Amino acid sequence: TSEGRNGYSSKYRLNMNPETVGKMFDEERWQIELRRMKRLEEEEIVKKYIFGKKSLF
C-alpha cells in the first residue's frame, strides 16, 4: 500500500512540477493564439473573397 501511495504522490508531484505546469499553460495559450490567428486569417480570406466579388461587379 505504501508503494502505491508513494507512486501516487511522486506522480502528483511530477504533475505539479512548475516546469510541467508552465509547459501545459504555454501549450494552452499557444493553442488559443493559433486558433485566433486561424480565425483572423479565415476572416481575411472571406473579406478578400467578398470584396473581390463586389469589385468584379
Q: Let me know: does 14 contact 20? Beta carbons within 8 Å.
A: yes
Is 70 exceeded by the pLDDT of residue 1? no
Is 60 exceeded by the pLDDT of residue 6? no
DSSP letter assigned to residue 1: -
Q: What is the pLDDT of residue 52?
A: 79
Give Cβ neighbours of residue 38 (< 8 Å, ≥ 6 apart): none
Q: What is the pLDDT of residue 46?
A: 86
Query: What end-to-end distance do the CA atoms of the chain give, in Å?
Result: 77
d(CA 37, CA 28): 14
- The residue ranges of every structural domain in the chain are 2-56
Q: Let me know: does 26 contact 32? Beta carbons within 8 Å.
A: no
pLDDT tens-digit readout, 19-48: 777 777 788 888 888 899 999 999 988 888
Q: What is the pLDDT of residue 47?
A: 86
pTM of the model: 0.44
